[in-house]
Amino acid sequence: MSFSVFSRAYKPVIASLMLLFTSGCASYYSHFAMFPAENSSGQPRQVRLTWQSAEYPDWWFAGDKATSVKLELLVSCTPAVVTEGQGDDVVNLDYLRASSVPYTVYVRKAPRGSMRARLPEFDESVCDAE
């Protein structure tokens, strides 16, 4: 009998504590950027960077978190073969060229799920020139 009274008295307390610790107090964002670059052969490419983050308020015990960065290149038109060689002697021919001038990347941040959070499309006009 005493267990049922104890259980009835503490159910609301336990439920409210669980709600407090599992509440969704984070702000979720999508980050993305597009910038032009050249590959190892000097051909123009478009680069898209994307990642997502969760930002928590200062009073919350959890720290801010982010996913790994995803790097995408527009290479749909050329080259048809991106490697040269066979077996262990394969050499990649299509990678971002190192630049003495740093790439300028403007990152956009938008609430996840909003209309502004849609990824920008690749511009395929580079393919028309080739």
The angle subtended at Cα 66 by Cα 47 and Cα 109, nearest 5°, is 55
- Tell me, yes or no, whether 20 lies in a domain: no
Is 15 contained in some domain? no
Contact present, 36 and 47 (Cβ < 8 Å): yes
58 located within any domain: yes
| Among 113, 120, 129, residue whose Cα is nearest residue 30 | 113
pLDDT at 45: 78
Poorest-confidence range of 7-16, 41-50, 99-108? Answer: 7-16
> Which residues share a beta bridge with 92?
83
- Beta carbons of 28 and 54 less than 8 angstroms apart: yes
- Identify whether 18 is part of a domain: no
Under DSSP, is residue 63 helix (H, G, I), strand (E, B) or coil? coil
Residue 72 forms part of a structural domain: yes
What contacts 79, CB < 8 A, 6 or more positions away? 41, 43, 93, 94
Residue 5 lies in a domain: no
Domain tally, the chain: 1
Q: 106 in helix, strand or coil? A: coil
pTM of the predicted structure, to 2 decimals: 0.58
In a domain, 116, yes or no: yes
Q: How many CA atoms lie within 13 A of 39 on its CB side?
A: 17
Question: 75-84: per-residue pLDDT in tens?
Answer: 545 555 667 7
Give the range among 6-10, 43-47, 57-61 with minimum mean pLDDT: 6-10
What range defines the domain where residue 104 resides?
25-129
Within a domain: 42 = yes
Highest mean pLDDT among 6-15, 21-30, 99-108: 99-108
